[in-house]
Amino acid sequence: MSADNNSRVAIVTGGSRGIGRAVALTLAQQGWRVCLTYMSNEAAAHDTADHIRKLGSQAVVVKADIASQADCQRVFAQAHQAFGRLDALVNNAGVVGGQRSIFDADATHLREVFDANVLGLFYCASLAASAMSTQKGGQGGCIVNLSSVASRTGGMLLEAHYAASKGAVDSLTLALAKELAPHGIRVNAVRPGLIDTEIHEAHGGQETLKKLAPTVPMGRVGQAQEVADVVAFLCDKHSSYIDGALLDVSGGR
């Protein structure tokens, strides 16, 4: 690893499990120092951090509700205190919101989904932009938003709220890519399809994955590592001319 690689710092929200954990570990393998957040599973978060340290990198763990602007501010403050710089933000934290018919839509449920999946991205992107902007004394960097193929397919039955929130993520990505390019910041989104993670417990878990796997052109469910590799690529210099991309990792689905 080069000294330059060892100096890079990433914040990965929701980095304790699933795709977030895979992203955090993949970046650590490439020499990144990582600040990861978690919402409830402290043991999983610290286990991820321990693995990062075993890889020879550094990790900071912060408990935070990304739907809270104050919590987001605290995450970035602690990351700055620990590492003194920021080179990448991976907006991974989010919720499915369970299955709910449009006939049962209510303000509380919708706010929970959109606060976590959309407003949280706004808060973190704003803080990351302020830290990385070359016009504000930063060194540039990148933001990678975790969206979903649900944003273009409508998602699974009874999950319109989730699909709509991810559609907002896509729009936010495109808008920020244009706004932040002059600041030396690239903004892209990765849209996973059927990936074998705990998030699918919201709609049937492994049974649902087995049922839907044959509908994927590649004939199988994807793995978190396959998404993480793409996220890491978008954080790397080899993707230096990629900005405003909505990249599907979905096996052709």
> Which positions are annotated as active-site residues?
162
| Three-class HEC string of the chain | CCHHHHHCEEEECCCCCHHHHHHHHHHHHCCCEEEEEECCCHHHHHHHHHHHHHCCCCEEEEECCCCCHHHHHHHHHHHHHHHCCCCEEEECCCCCCCCCCHHHCCHHHHHHHHHHHHHHHHHHHHHHHHHHCHHHCCCCEEEEEECCCHHHHCCCCCCHHHHHHHHHHHHHHHHHHHHHHHHCEEEEEEEECCECCHHHHHHCHHHHHHHHHHHCCCCCCECHHHHHHHHHHHHCHHHCCCCCCEEEECCCC
